[in-house]
Amino acid sequence: MWWGRIGQVRDEFTADLDPVERQRLKAYVRAEDKARFLLGCTIVRRVLASRLSLPPASIRLERACPDCGKPHGKVRSDGIELSVTHSGKLVGVAVSDRPVGLDVEKVDPGLDVDGLARLSLSEAELAALPQHDGRARAFTTYWTRKEAVVKATGVGLRSDLRTITGQPDGFQVIELEVDPGYVAALAVVSAEPLDVRTRSAQVLI
């Protein structure tokens, strides 16, 4: 797992992007969205480049969306499993030999927990949510675990999140410590013990 912060972004990173990535970068209106996307692309490209001893710009990435075919789906590259996530100032990239899903969310204390929880939590999870203090954080923790699972398979939010609870069959799901005010989870499709290593994107930059 590689973690970066949007303050690490530099304009020159755009030099390594492919035409699809340039198009998507241009389409983002807010500077923070541009920075999150650019840093995600840069981490993916630089990690794969160093593993393959190739220049970052030469890495071929595929992002076809399973719904519409446009290049905004799970990022894929031959022979390696990847997952990208961004929220607030954080950008995370998981690189694995097994299908992997990573999700980070900045906890929003003003979140409409009731509305979202009914659509996405199981009965048991709903009952276990704290009534007041920590409610948004507890909900967001469930949410990132579920998203990590659906991101591992590439299905994304088309799944009924209410049915994705605990450790679904075949998955290992772990909660991650990231920055204060954020929650994150990692899901891996594997029965083997996980060996998770966390690195700062700073060394790539």
The residue range among 4-12, 27-35, 84-92, 191-199 that interacts with ligand COA, by the rule CB under 6 A, is 84-92
How far is residue 197's CA from residue 162's CA, in Å, rounded to a whole number? 30
CB 9, min distance to ligand COA, A = 13
CB 192, min distance to ligand COA, A = 22
Question: According to the binding rule CB under 6 A, does residue 88 interact with ligand COA?
Answer: no
Question: According to the binding rule CB under 6 A, does residue 147 interact with ligand COA?
Answer: yes
Give CA angle at 41 (202, 188), nearest 5°.
85
CB 194, min distance to ligand COA, A = 19
The count of chain residues that interact with ligand COA, using the rule CB under 6 A, is: 18
Q: The dihedral of CA 148, 151, 157, 158: what is its sign?
A: negative
- Residue 171 interacts with, from Zn ion, ligand COA, none (CB under 5-8 Å by kind): none
Contact call for residues 165 and 125 (beta carbons, < 8 A): yes
Residues that bind Zn ion (CB under 5 A): 65, 67-68, 70
Question: According to the binding rule CB under 6 A, does residue 67 interact with ligand COA?
Answer: yes
Question: What are 173-177's contacts with CB under 8 Å, separation 24+?
Answer: 173/145, 173/148, 173/149, 175/141, 175/144, 175/145, 176/1, 176/104
Closer by beta carbon to Zn ion, 5 or else 156: 156
For residue 47, count other CB atoms closer than 10 A to its CB.
20
Strands 81-87 and 199-200: unpaired
Closer by beta carbon to ligand COA, 123 or else 179: 179
Question: According to the binding rule CB under 6 A, does residue 68 interact with ligand COA?
Answer: yes
